[in-house]
Structures are given as structure tokens and as C-alpha cells.
Structure 1
Amino acid sequence: MSVIGKTVKPFTAQAYQNGEFMEVSEENFKGQWTVLCFYPADFTFVCPTELEDLQNEYDNLKDLGAEVYSCSTDTHFTHKAWHESSEAIGKVTYPMIGDPSHTLPQNFEVLREEEGLADRGTFIIDPNGVIQVAEVHAEGIGRDASALIEKMKKAQYVYNNPGEVCPAKWEEGSETLKPSIDLVGKI
């Protein structure tokens, strides 16, 4: 079952950001674009490379009007300890959500119930709290955060231009398509 086009379900969780704990809910995802990246666990191998890479693109995503959140089934206390002990994670300035209740991974359909861990899932959520992009990777396949920039631009274009769609390899400023019966079989 796909989560695309669905509104983010209610949740409340604790997060760690810049030396502080904070509460996060679905309300934080409204009124702006949101990138939510799930990962299996703190103190692992691929995860710190991904979160550091995401930090490297954080300013670019902020320039596009997006907030970034990472999330695992660890606690916010574990996120703080990891932030203080890892050079890569020590660079992270976006909120790191801890969800030992598994609510968020269940809601986004990325929970591996038998292990209590989240898959590598990346979601782009529009300002209305509706999921527009969902991508899930196997545990051994790290993500490239720079790919989020183009996906975000496409999602924003379609959101801001109802009736238009972005074809494959679309780049900002290039031609889009306006689906109609006249286009059927002509592309």
C-alpha cells in the first residue's frame, strides 16, 4: 500500500537538535516543505555517511523552503550521545527524531517489525502535510542527498502548477507537459 498522496498521520516524538531536546508532531510538517529521512540505527556504518551527506545539502534544501528531519527508532538521548561522539554526526544541525514507539516508521510503512528498525526511507512532504515523494532503499544501499534537490524542485513545480507534469530528466526552466487526450500516443 502506497503512502503517496496521503496526509501525514498524527504523531508526537522527541527530537534532538543543536544541544536541545524538542517535541515534534505532524504539525511541524505543515506550512513548509519537509524532507523526512528514516535510517535503521545510530552508531552504525552507512547511516552516519548518509546523515552527514544530508547535512551537506541542508542549506540547499532550506533555500528551497524545506526543513529536514532524520528519524530512527532510537531515543533522542541516543541521538545526543551519537552527536557528541561521532565526527560525521557532530556536523548535523537539523532535527534528529527519536521514535522508540515505532509510530512514525509504521505510519510511513518503513518499519521492519521483527527487528524494530526502520528501512532507509526518504519522503518529501508538501506544505499541506501530504506525502509527494517516497523512496525506500535496502539497508546496505546508502542514499545520495544531492538527488533530493532535483526531486524537491519537481515536487514544488507540480504543486505550484496544477495541470502540468514534469517528464523524465526535467530540469528547472525546461518544458513540462500538460496531460490531455491530445497527448495520448504522441510522446
Structure 2
Amino acid sequence: MSLINTQVKPFNATAYHNGKFVPVSNEDLKGKWSVVVFYPADFTFVCPTELGDLADQYAEFQKLGVEIYGVSTDTHFTHKAWHDTSDTIAKIQYPLVGDPTGAITRNFDVMIEEEGLALRGTFVINPEGEIKLCEIHDNGIGRDAKELLRKVQAAQYVASHPGEVCPAKWTPGAETLKPSLDLVGKI
């Protein structure tokens, strides 16, 4: 069953954020747009490239009112240690959520049970707590923060413009589509 248009399941966790350990729950995802990015583990190889790319684009996400949450099955203590030892991770300003029990990872259906690690899962969540985008990658395939930003912009546009949809490669300011009987077969 798809997670699209479902509510984020309840969770409570601890994150490393701006030099502190802070509580994070599903309630923190409500009232604003959120991006939850699952990754396999701290101190690995593809993960810091992705998280660093998100850090480089973080200001653009913030301009859209979006908070990013990085989640792995590591502890918040491990997130702090990684932050303190990696120049790439040190630039992250969004919360890194620890999920050592795997509860959050399972809630989003990205747990690799035999490894105790998450797949590369990306979820865009609207202010009502509904999942609007779900992408899951094999762990050898890195993601692109600029493309994710574009998808968030499309999700926000569609949410604020009922009856319109965003075609492939849509960017803000580009033409959208208004599905109707007159449009069938004309694209």
C-alpha cells in the first residue's frame, strides 16, 4: 500500500540540532511543510554527499517554509560525533534524528530488516501531516537536493492551486495544466 496521502504515524525521537539534543515527534511536522530524508548510516560514503547537498540548499528550503529532517538508525550521540568530525556534516543546520529502535524507519516503510539500516527514502509532508511525495532509492544511488526543492515547489503549487497540475520538469513560473475533457489527447 502506498504511503501517499496518508498521515505520518506517531513517533518520538531525539535529534542533534544546532549543538543540542532536542525532542522531535510527528507533531513537529504539522503546521509547515517538511522533508524527511532517511539514509543508511553516519560515517559512510554516499550519505555525507547527500546531506551536505541538502545543507547547501537549506536556505532555499527555508524560504519556502520547509524544515528538513535527516533520519538514520544511528543514535543522536552518533550524529553529534559525526557532526564534530566531518566538515561536510558540520555545515548541516537541520535536525539529524536518531532512530536506534527503527520505529520511525519502519513507519515510513524504508527499513532493511536484515541490516538494521534505512533505505534512501525521501518524503515530502504537507502542513496537515500528510505524505505528498515518497521516493525510495537503492542505497548506492544518491539524491539531488535541487531536484527535491523543485518537487517541493510543485507540491506547494498544486496544494495552493486546486484543479491545476505540474507537468514534467515544471519550475515556478512555468505553465501548469488544468485537466479537463478538452485536454484529453492534446498533450
Calculate the TM-score normalised by the size of structure 1. Answer: 0.97
1:92 to partner: Cα distance: 0.9
Deviation sequence 1:115-170 (CA, Å, 0-9, x none): 11000111111111111111111111111111111101100000001111111122
1:43 aligns with 2:43: yes
Calculate the TM-score normalised by the size of structure 2. Answer: 0.97
Which secondary structure state, in structure 1, belongs to the residue aligned with residue 104 of structure 2?
Answer: helix
Letter in 2 for 1:153: Q
Residues 98-117 of structure 1: pairs in structure 2 closer than 5 A = 98-117=98-117
1:181 to partner: Cα distance: 2.3
Aligned to 1:77: 77
Matched pairs, number: 187
Aligned to 1:22: 22
Q: Structure 2 regions of 5+ residues with no counterpart?
A: none
Letter in 1 for 2:46: V
1:185 to partner: Cα distance: 2.1
Return the alpha-carbon distance in structure 2 between the equivalents of residues 169 and 38 of structure 1: 24
1:68 aligns with 2:72: no
Return the alpha-carbon distance in structure 2 between the equivalents of residues 7 and 53 of structure 1: 28
Letter in 1 for 2:47: C
Return the alpha-carbon distance in structure 2 between the equivalents of residues 5 and 180 of structure 1: 23
Return the alpha-carbon distance in structure 1 between the equivalents of residues 158 and 130 of structure 2: 13
Return the alpha-carbon distance in structure 1 between the equivalents of residues 38 and 13 of structure 2: 14
Report percent identity of matched pairs. Answer: 61
Choose 56-65 or 140-149, whichever is displaced more: 140-149
1:173 to partner: Cα distance: 1.4
Choose 111-120 or 168-177, whichever is displaced more: 168-177
CA RMSD of aligned residues (A): 0.9
Letter in 1 for 2:37: C
Which secondary structure state, in structure 1, belongs to the residue aligned with residue 62 of structure 2?
Answer: helix
Return the alpha-carbon distance in structure 2 between the equivalents of residues 105 and 22 of structure 1: 19
Letter in 2 for 1:10: P
